[in-house]
């Protein structure tokens, strides 16, 4: 859980730095590529969430097997 928190904190801080640079966001907005950045971040977040959900289910199954043995 601690690794997840650190990873999310790192991602949010990097995103914050990207959006804090006014010139780069102006350029991205003018060229329409800001939507690509938002979509990529959303895909990464969904992928990480899906991975963690699957990992949690596998761990729960292993714990149940261990209890029954």
pLDDT digits (tens, 9 = 90+) for 14-49: 776 666 655 566 776 778 787 888 889 999 999 999
Residues 39 and 28: their CA atoms lie apart, in Å, by 13
pTM: 0.56
> d(Cα 36, Cα 50) in Å, to the nearest integer?
21
- Residue 6 pLDDT class (50, 70, 90 cuts): confident
Q: Reduced to 3 DSSP states, what percent helix, strand and coil does the chain have, rounded to the nearest 5?
A: 95, 0, 5
pLDDT at 32: 79
């Amino acid at each position: 859980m601690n690794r997840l928190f650190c990873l999310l904190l790192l991602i949010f801080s990097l995103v914050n730095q990207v959006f804090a640079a006014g010139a780069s966001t102006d350029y991205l907005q003018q060229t329409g590529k800001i939507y690509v950045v938002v979509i990529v971040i959303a895909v990464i977040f969904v992928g990480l969430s899906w991975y963690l959900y699957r990992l949690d289910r596998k761990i729960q199954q292993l714990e149940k097997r261990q209890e029954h043995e």
